[in-house]
Amino acid sequence: MKKNRSKKVWLGAAALAGAACLGTCVWAFQSALGISQYDVTLPQGMEGLDGYRIVQIADLHSAELEQDLEQALEQLQPHLIVMTGDLVNREDRDFAQALSTAALAVRFAPTYFVRGNHEVDNPDYDRLRQGLEEAGVTILEDQSVVLDYRGTSLNLVGVKDVTAHPGSRAQAIQAMAQTAKDLFVDGAYHVLLSHRPSLLEAYETSGADLVFTGHAHGGQVRLPGLGAVFAPDQGLLPQITAGVHAAGQAQVVVSRGLGNGTPFPRLWNAPELVAVTLRAQESLSGNG
């Protein structure tokens, strides 16, 4: 009798452990699209941009998320959509998914794109570029465009990824910051699109007000209670993989991204769509 009871106890414990393991795996491999929304305070003189919403599509890596993205964009109703690189993988030659996602974005708002390192490394990038332009996406490569919203100017600047620059990495970073600085204009709110989140000093030097970045994939694995495990340019236990970070006057937004450009799975790190709403100080004070 005791032997049967002991067997049942062990079987119950094994079943409980199996269920816990399965639950942990399901939790770790969560794939439902999440939306992270941030309010960013505007400097004085830019109050006309209050309520302006920018949605960021980062690091798609040819993932098929259109249905979820469409529902999210319908909910968010952005004024502007920015794509901060790695729409595709460097080895991709079929760009159908990336271009379909780009066409979806254009349906909701003017959409702008800067290259990531995967586009720089992809030998068929010219074909991808042509497809994006045909879909209605504006590509910014060391270029800018001034947008007007209720009489206030927003200067949107896109810079090349540092891997697209000749010379050393240090020279490339310095050139990127100088290029951005040269493209900013007086009397406008400066929004910079750049692929890499770790270049905080360069973003501060550039004079940007708001920077959108990706690349870090949220650290690829985000251990509960510990955070990100690894990110390119930052190594182990990186600090700049998600959320909003200060760099002088600049607010640097880091998206965890939507897809995966590595063989290693994303764990405890669901796909993320980022939405930033610009807020006048008075508006935030009123909400508080």
Regarding whether 10 and 108 lie in a shared domain, the answer is no
Structure tokens at 51: 């309520």
pLDDT 10s digits, 108-160: 999 999 999 999 999 999 999 999 999 999 999 999 999 999 999 999 999 99
CA distances from 283 to 39, 46, 130, 254, 287 (A): 11, 12, 41, 24, 6
Containing structural domain, residue 10? 1-30
Q: How many domains does the chain have?
A: 2
Task: Record the pTM.
Answer: 0.89
Regarding whether 95 and 44 lie in a shared domain, the answer is yes
Regarding whether 188 and 116 lie in a shared domain, the answer is yes
Cβ neighbours of residue 256 closer than 8 Å, sequence gap 6 or more: 36, 58, 214, 216, 217, 218, 241, 242, 269, 271, 272
Regarding whether 46 and 23 lie in a shared domain, the answer is no
Regarding whether 14 and 104 lie in a shared domain, the answer is no
Average confidence score pLDDT of the chain: 90
CA distances from 271 to 149, 255, 258 (A): 30, 9, 4
Regarding whether 113 and 58 lie in a shared domain, the answer is yes
Provide, rounded to the nearest whole percent, the portion of the chain with pLDDT above 70. 88
Regarding whether 173 and 282 lie in a shared domain, the answer is yes
Regarding whether 7 and 37 lie in a shared domain, the answer is no
CA distance 9 to 12: 5
Regarding whether 197 and 54 lie in a shared domain, the answer is yes
CA distance 194 to 97: 22
Regarding whether 114 and 2 lie in a shared domain, the answer is no
pLDDT 10s digits, 37-92: 999 999 999 999 999 999 999 999 999 999 999 999 999 999 999 999 999 999 99
Regarding whether 59 and 178 lie in a shared domain, the answer is yes
Q: N- to C-terminal Cα distance for the chain?
A: 66
